[in-house]
Structure 1
Amino acid sequence: MEENFESLKVMVIDDSKTIRRTAETLLKKVGCTVITAVDGFDALAKIADNNPDIIFVDIMMPRLDGYQTCALIKNNSAFRGTPVIMLSSKDGLFDKAKGRIVGSDQYLTKPFSKEELLGAIRAHVPQSDDLAGASEA
């Protein structure tokens, strides 16, 4: 069963054009609206305007890294409940722990698969019945 993620707003923050484009392509195919940002500063302005349902943020970025960006999002009462998924090319225990400290909800190692991306959305964004297709059988 192909899932329907229509009306879901997903933000992808990454300084890599390739990662942004890959994530955007995968997410648009399942119906998501995708907002991309090149770094934390770019993202913070767009978060307020777009109010995304879930945010994917790269850890290694210039100016404002993923940890700082996540901390700023989670410190804002309007967006505290928004799931933030960290993206990193390092699969380190330290990075995962640090991500948890700043309030991230999950950690994905790059390169991520379509399944991992959709799995993170499934795990953190409540799907209403009409959104999921309403049929249980």
Structure 2
Amino acid sequence: MSEDTRDADITETGDAEGLEGLKVMVIDDSKTIRRTAETLLKRHGCQVITATDGFEALAKIAEHRPEIIFVDIMMPRLDGYQTCALIKHNRLFRSTPVIMLSSKDSIFDKARGRIVGSEQYLTKPFTRDDLLGAIRAHVHRD
């Protein structure tokens, strides 16, 4: 079992190296969450675009074309569910993976995230491995 663990660690490190230049968007009204995610992802070579709410994010998505989007559920004006639904209803961005972020961990919230088209649901506080794991699971670069 310890050999498997070591192999997984080697793979994780190797995969993280392959994130150079990956465009990641983080949408959250919390400056702390945005800054934390941005710092973690930039350490692995990602280009990070941030937005404070869904309205700001929609304009930036069209401009920057991120390869994966992390979106908080609870935001003013346009919440994460509405933002995800709008992204997934746009034919240009339908295939862009959207990962929901929330401090809630209920089955209802997770199901609602799936209904609007999100690929995954991460509970805050998230870790570096949570973010990198979501990217590895949903972004396939050639």
| Same fold at TM > 0.5 | yes
Letter of the structure 2 residue corresponding to residue 91 of structure 1: D
- 2:76 paired with 1:56: no
- 2:111 paired with 1:78: no
- 2:100 paired with 1:91: no
Between the aligned partners of 1:74 and 1:7, the Cα distance in structure 2 is 23
Between the aligned partners of 1:127 and 1:64, the Cα distance in structure 2 is 30
Q: Aligned match of 1:10 in 18, 24, 28?
A: 24
SS at match of 1:57: strand
Partner of 1:133: none
Per-residue deviation at 1:91?
A: 0.4
* Runs of 4+ deviating beyond 6 Å: none
SS at match of 1:104: coil
Q: Aligned match of 1:47 in 61, 64, 69?
A: 61
- 2:126 paired with 1:112: yes
Identity of matched residues, %: 77
Between the aligned partners of 1:107 and 1:75, the Cα distance in structure 2 is 19
Between the aligned partners of 1:42 and 1:56, the Cα distance in structure 2 is 14
Aligned residues: 128
Between the aligned partners of 1:77 and 1:127, the Cα distance in structure 2 is 20
SS at match of 1:19: helix
* Cα deviation code 1:40-85 (max 9, x no counterpart): 0000000000000000000000000000000000000000000000
Between the aligned partners of 1:7 and 1:74, the Cα distance in structure 2 is 23
Supply the RMSD in Å over aligned alpha carbons.
0.7
Query: Superposition pairs for residues 18-29 of structure 1, below 5 Å?
Result: 18-29=32-43
User: Where is the helix percentage greater, Structure 1 or Structure 2?
Assistant: 2
SS at match of 1:20: helix
**Any gaps of 5 or more consecutive residues in structure 1?**
129-137
**What's the TM-score once normalised by structure 2's chain length?**
0.89
**Any gaps of 5 or more consecutive residues in structure 2?**
1-9
Per-residue deviation at 1:127?
A: 3.3
Letter of the structure 2 residue corresponding to residue 36 of structure 1: T
Letter of the structure 1 residue corresponding to residue 126 of structure 2: F
Letter of the structure 2 residue corresponding to residue 6 of structure 1: E
Query: Superposition pairs for residues 26-41 of structure 1, below 5 Å?
Result: 26-41=40-55
